[in-house]
Structure 1
Amino acid sequence: MKRILIVEDEVNIARVLNLYIRKEGYETLVVHDGLQALEAFESFQPALVLLDIMLPGMNGWEVLQSIRQRHSCPVILLTSLTKTEQKLQGLGDGADDYITKPFVGEEVVARIKAVLRRTSAMLEKEHVRYYGSLKVDFQSHQIYLNGAEIFLSPRDLAVFLVLAERPKQVFSREQLIEQVWGIDYEGSDRAVDLAIKRIRGALENWKSSEGEIKTMHRIGYQFIVYE
């Protein structure tokens, strides 16, 4: 369940927002001033912050700037200020969206969902890559081919991730050993060749037209993706 931090000093508005957002299945926390917002942000760890600008203690601009100094959590500004310059200031300071009062509760919920979808897609793009029918999640260390997970030993998986993270770069056996086995490894570099053989076996159904792990004679290995 995703958490939404609601920062609004007008109690009635905060109550309405809380009802609408909780109705959609989100977990919420409501605070009424800027200083409380920063404390709650650290402890509650929300997926999104709904932030009023005109707040006691510390205004919304300052809260937004403080959040942006250490986190990319999406923030939607909520305010009665209507000037275009003020909206642009909020977006320029790192806000993800801007809602002007008075508002309709359904609109706020729709904006929250849209921002969360957009943020989720951006985060996935950062750590998930697609090479044709091959999906590689560098954060969870998982590989999928045509939707089915491919299982490798931890060491073979580490070799594959090193190669897949930098398509077209040629890695020597020595470089792969240093990154995967460690600089203290005293075995044969034949271990790299065997790992590559097992990886290729696991990916035997990956279309040759989409990519391959290519052997560079007397040099090493290269992960190739065909556009």
Structure 2
Amino acid sequence: MDLPGPILIVEDDPNTAALVTTYLEREGFAVIAVHDGAEALALARRKPPGFVILDVMLPGADGWEICRELRKVSDVPILMLTAREEEIDRVLGLSLGADDYVVKPFSPRELVERVKAILRRARPTAGANPSLVHGSLVLDPEKHRVTLDGRPVELTAAEYRVLLALMRAPGRVFSRDDLIGRIYEGGETVVDRVIDVHIGHLRQKLGDDPAAPRFIRTVRGFGYRFADRSEE
């Protein structure tokens, strides 16, 4: 898969970084590995990466902080590496804008497949996909672009796929499990609260007041739906 920049690995264990690098390079990816958060941020500013694999436990700035800083300036796909499997850690990573996470110890082959899956989700297959329009909100599936009032809206891959699913079926109620299945097609185990996090971020980026939403409506006890044509 062609990427606009190299895969940036941020991992303080040299052995783990070297192993992941080897497996990714076998698949034809260009890779740069760094071992602390400050170096990762400096490098990302000089040479924007096409993908980031980010360890949570780092010297200096930890992975949460690095993820937060990257999300301020970029929608680059981010895969978090964590040694802890608690639900709160998974939700925290995704709430900060990470696209997925892998728990240590992990299979390098599995990690490579996760990377490929995220890239497939972020770069949908081209085809005859007309733009989806609701008032001043426009989603262009061909260009993978969202605009509001003519201005671009920067979304993570997961946020984009949630919005795409909702806008393709205005008025239809999606359960959290429905939306999880559309975001995490590889069968990953994901808590349903993650969808609430993505919806919260979408509403914030779209300026959508949950008390009087223009776009995403909550159906209590069921899930979410996008406003239908009569509600434009």
Tell me the TM-score normalised to structure 2 length.
Answer: 0.53
Question: Which one has a bigger Cα radius of gyration?
Answer: 1
The separation in 1 between residues aligned to 2:47 and 2:64, in whole angstroms, is 20
Instruction: Write the letter of the residue equivalent to 2:43.
Output: A
Which of 56, 59, 63 lines up with 2:59 in the alignment?
56
For residues 54 and 16 of structure 1, the distance between their equivalents in structure 2, rounded to whole angstroms, comes to: 18
Report sequence identity in percent. Answer: 38
User: 2:141 & 2:95 partners in 1: Cα distance?
Assistant: 33
Query: Aligned in 2, Cα 1:9/1:129: closer, same or farther, shift over 3 Å?
Result: same
Stretches of structure 2 that go unaligned for 5 or more consecutive residues are 132-139, 145-232
- TM-score between the two structures when normalised by the length of structure 1: 0.54
Distance change in 2, residues 1:137/1:87 (3 Å) = closer
Q: Which whole-Å deviations, capped at 9, do the CAs of 1:178-198 have from their partners, x for residues lacking one?
A: xxxxxxxxxxxxxxxxxxxxx
Which amino acid counterpart does residue 5 of structure 1 have in structure 2?
L
Distance 1:27 1:89, change over 3 A: same
Of 57, 74, 79, which residue of structure 1 is paired with 2:77?
Answer: 74
Does the C-alpha gap of structure 1 residues 138 and 13 become closer, same or farther in structure 2, counting only changes over 3 Å? closer
Please state whether the residue corresponding to 1:130 is helix, strand or coil: coil
Write out per-residue CA displacement over residues 6-60 of structure 1, whole angstroms, 9 at most, x where no aligned residue. 0000010000000001110000000000001101112232111000000012100
Amino acid paired to 2:98: A
Q: Deviations over 1:119-173 (max 9, x none)?
A: 1129x79xx8438xxx99679xxxxxxxxxxxxxxxxxxxxxxxxxxxxxxxxxx
| Matching residue of 1:85 | 88
Partner of residue 115, structure 2: 112
**DSSP 3-state at the match of 2:73:** coil
- Tell me the distance in 1 between the aligned counterparts of 2:20 and 2:44: 18
Say what the alpha-carbon RMSD is for the aligned residues.
2.5
Unaligned 5+ segments in structure 1 are 140-227
**1:33-90 superposed Cα distances (whole Å, 9 cap, x missing partner):** 0001101112232111000000012100000000011111110001101111111110
Q: Matches of 1:14 and 1:77 in 2, distance apart?
A: 13
In 2, distance between residues paired with 1:43 and 1:26?
19
Given the alignment of the two structures, is residue 101 of structure 1 paired with residue 94 of structure 2, yes or no? no
* 1:85/1:138 CA distance change after superposition, 3 Å: closer
Change (3 A) 1:80 1:129: same
